[in-house]
Amino acid sequence: MTMLPAPTTKKLGLVIDLDICVGCHACAVACKEWNDGGQFGPLPDESPYGKEPLGVWFNRVHSFEIEPAQKNASAMTVHFPRSCLHCETPDCVTVCPTGASYKRAEDGIVLVDEDKCIGCKLCSWACPYGAREYSEQRGVMQKCTLCVDRIYNESFDEIDRQPACVAACPTRARHFGDLGNENSAVSKLVAQRGGYDLMPEMGYKRPRRDGGSSTTSSSAAAEEKMDFSTASPLLRWIDKVLSR
């Protein structure tokens, strides 16, 4: 079993505004382009132009159509980006038998050491968000790295030291920063917009300043779950889908 590091104050992560995501897949394409030739690539594809294309994508965008509650009303399309959340207490790390999956102590980013990965897929089974990507060609697990080889690259201008998906988003739906700093832009955005954890009953929690504790019991996680009974129909539908 791989151990998690002690809680740190710096917790890098993404905040995605679902209200303005248009499902253009620019984030997915930019991520694929950067990482395919970078430190954590390649990201192989199998039969990309065939009837059953398969491949490794660190970012995926799912689109759903919501049936209108009233007759003669228009249906609503919801675009839901999916990538690693770099959880505060990730089970994908603790189930790894070789230490290949690990959480960085200095910034909270969850990574995979492919030299140690044996392709057992335990981490993908443990991830409730489906964010792990298994490469059939390479026989190893791959995942979002928050473009760690980009955000710390001092040869880049400061404005470019952000994940490729964030830089490519045309509507600025994606935001990157330190969720452990309550004064950071992303923390303020979460506070202003009422950001919430996905499936909080699982107890993983998004990275954020929380008094220094990095563990959450199942009962405490259930108490933290938001009450969506008075939320908009869109948020109630998303909560229902993610809670299945």
Return the CATH number at 157: 3.30.70.20
Q: Is residue 244 scored above 60 in pLDDT? A: no
Using CA atoms, how far apart are residues 129 and 59, in angstroms rounded to an integer? 12
- Whether 208 is covered by a domain: the verdict is yes
- Whether 216 is covered by a domain: the verdict is yes
Q: Is residue 101 scored above 90 in pLDDT? A: yes
198-214 pLDDT, tens digit per residue, is 777 777 666 654 433 22
| pLDDT for position 217 | 28
- Whether 232 is covered by a domain: the verdict is yes
Using CA atoms, how far apart are residues 236 and 71, in angstroms rounded to an integer? 19
Q: Which contacts of 38-47 are long-range, i.e. CB under 8 A and separated by 24 or more positions? A: 38/147, 38/149, 38/150, 39/149, 40/114, 40/142, 40/145, 40/149, 43/133, 43/135, 43/142, 44/135, 44/136, 44/137, 44/138, 46/136, 46/137
- Whether 130 is covered by a domain: the verdict is yes
For the chain, where are the alpha helices, taking DSSP H only? 26-36, 91-94, 122-126, 148-151, 164-168, 185-193, 218-224, 233-242
| pLDDT for position 171 | 94
Q: Average pLDDT of 24-41?
A: 92
Which residues are CB-contacts of 223 (< 8 A; sequence separation ≥ 6)?
none
Give buried/exposed letters for 51-78 (b at 16+ CB in 10 A, else e): eeeeebbbbbbeeeeeeeeeeeeeeeeb
- Whether 1 is covered by a domain: the verdict is no
Q: Is residue 144 scored above 80 in pLDDT? A: yes
- According to DSSP, residue 91 is labeled H
| pLDDT for position 242 | 54
pLDDT band (50, 70, 90) for residue 216? very low
- Whether 4 is covered by a domain: the verdict is no
pLDDT band (50, 70, 90) for residue 237? low
Q: Is residue 75 scored above 50 in pLDDT? A: yes
Question: In the chain, what are the helix, strand and coil shares in percent, each to the nearest 5?
Answer: 25, 15, 60
In terms of residue numbers, what domain contains 163? Answer: 12-242
Instruction: Specify the higher pLDDT residue, 129 or 234.
Output: 129
Q: Is residue 118 scored above 60 in pLDDT? A: yes
| pLDDT for position 230 | 57
pLDDT band (50, 70, 90) for residue 47? confident
Q: Is residue 220 scored above 50 in pLDDT? A: no
* Helices and strands per DSSP (H, E), number in the chain: 8, 10
pLDDT band (50, 70, 90) for residue 185? very high
CA nearest to 110, candidates 2, 188, 213, 212: 2
- Whether 3 is covered by a domain: the verdict is no
| pLDDT for position 74 | 81
Using CA atoms, how far apart are residues 196 and 15, in angstroms rounded to an integer? 10
How much is the mean pLDDT over the chain? Answer: 83
Q: Is residue 227 scored above 80 in pLDDT? A: no
Q: Is residue 52 scored above 80 in pLDDT? A: yes
Using CA atoms, how far apart are residues 143 and 151, in angstroms rounded to an integer? 16
Q: Average pLDDT of 6-21?
A: 89
- Whether 80 is covered by a domain: the verdict is yes
Considering its fold, how many domains does the chain have in total?
A: 1
Task: Say whether 140 sits in a helix, a strand or coil.
Answer: strand
Strands (DSSP E) contained in 60-210 are 60-66, 76-82, 101-103, 110-112, 133-135, 140-142, 174-178
122-135 pLDDT, tens digit per residue, is 999 999 888 999 99
Peptide bond into 90 cis (omega under 30): no
